[in-house]
Structure 1
């Protein structure tokens, strides 16, 4: 993506080793590092910086008392900036609050160099990025997601899709059949089609048909987005929902 515009990139890192590592990784990319490290919330932008896209890469430990508040504050000052959070470990609630506060990406500090640059490029193109495997592992209730815990691949969503996963409207729930609801619960646990088929004693092809119907009804693009949607809807509505 060398043809894309240079990006003024501000690091907010409490850990000096992480900061220097990022400087090395980004040194030969279009992510042009700002000389200041973000520690107090304010930086000085010159005319060149102001004319280029702006990206903040935040170490989650920089805001031990409130990452979400730190992100929100940055968004108030730099409304057009993109914000990516780097975390030492995956925290589902932390990721959700980061996105709700205005973050555009949530990555693990263990992400490989090439993958990180790719994720930053996606964020600058308007995508919302987070680690899909870690997400599935975090929401898995039976350990199925743990098989993927070493995978640092990321899922990408448009901002509209990301907002939909946090939408409190529960009308699509009413359109799911009881079987689709069961399968959606399995997706929320990170179960593959073969495991779902065995658990429900149906053919794997039948599971695929149901999943297509589920994606259409809850208006998401893939099973990971369906799992995230389920986290925000099923857990709080399952007790009083009557399935079709």
Structure 2
């Protein structure tokens, strides 16, 4: 994952809390413990957080959101052991509808940033940001501003293209968890019989789900479904 940012050292610039959304409880979803510790230390020092919880996988984060109090904000790494791409963004937002979600990632590809923002994230932050800029980015996001990397601003899509991506993402967000599992296996090139075996469901059930998937995302075949999933960056390692 590269070097660990030195966010947590002394000298943090405290945020102007009066201008910021009331954030006191933050959930950080990242499988790198040093990243979690550094980010938790930085945000706690800057914003006076009363609690920071961490989860090392999407499944762990989902359990926490179902079983414990809802956080005021979520920080998500895209590359987790059980999920990659914007699938994690969509999954967590289904459970935490009104909670601002920030993606923090080393991947600054403009298409990925576009996909994440189209999925409804409040912002996209580079893991390599220096401490003061990192704090400033979170202060702006928690005040309601959509924040993206500086590198993205010069290459961002047109509003028309952005709306098309948002509409595409909304259609994928209507898939059930089982349909998302089947779509993932389709994207990996699995035939129906193997999907049936891997998910322990009848092949007829697989076909029914695939028909529903194609209807929801408005495609005519499996190949088109896989291509659209790739375009929307649903599954990316």
- Which residue among 121, 129, 139 is the counterpart of 2:147? 129
Match of 1:86 in 2: 104
Matches of 1:128 and 1:76, distance apart in 2: 19
Give the Å deviation of 1:89: 3.0
Q: How does 1:1-244 map to 2 (within 5 A)?
A: 1-3=16-18, 4=20, 5-30=22-47, 31-37=49-55, 39=57, 40=59, 41-43=62-64, 50=70, 54-62=72-80, 65-136=83-154, 139=155, 166-168=162-164
Structure 1: gaps spanning 5 or more residues: 141-161, 169-244
Matches of 1:96 and 1:32, distance apart in 2: 32
Greater radius of gyration (CA): 1
Cα distance 1:96–1:45, how it changes in 2: closer, same or farther (>3 A)? same
State whether residues 8 and 54 of structure 1, in contact with CA within 8 Å, keep that contact through their aligned partners in structure 2: yes
- 1:87-132 CA-to-partner distances (Å, cap 9, x unmatched) read 1131112111111212111111011112112111211121110012
Matches of 1:10 and 1:134, distance apart in 2: 26
State whether residues 122 and 146 of structure 2, in contact with CA within 8 Å, keep that contact through their aligned partners in structure 1: yes
State whether residues 63 and 70 of structure 1, in contact with CA within 8 Å, keep that contact through their aligned partners in structure 2: no
Structure 1's consecutive aligned runs of 4 or more residues displaced over 6 angstroms after TM superposition are 162-165
- 1:152-200 CA-to-partner distances (Å, cap 9, x unmatched) read xxxxxxxxxx9666135xxxxxxxxxxxxxxxxxxxxxxxxxxxxxxxx
Count of residue correspondences: 144
- 1:55-82 CA-to-partner distances (Å, cap 9, x unmatched) read 1111122267532111111111100111
Cα distance 1:2–1:124, how it changes in 2: closer, same or farther (>3 A)? closer
The alignment's C-alpha RMSD in Å is 3.2
Structure 2: gaps spanning 5 or more residues: 1-15, 165-237
Matches of 1:84 and 1:112, distance apart in 2: 17
Matches of 1:19 and 1:72, distance apart in 2: 21
Matches of 2:67 and 2:139, distance apart in 1: 23
Match of 1:222 in 2: none
State whether residues 36 and 43 of structure 1, in contact with CA within 8 Å, keep that contact through their aligned partners in structure 2: no
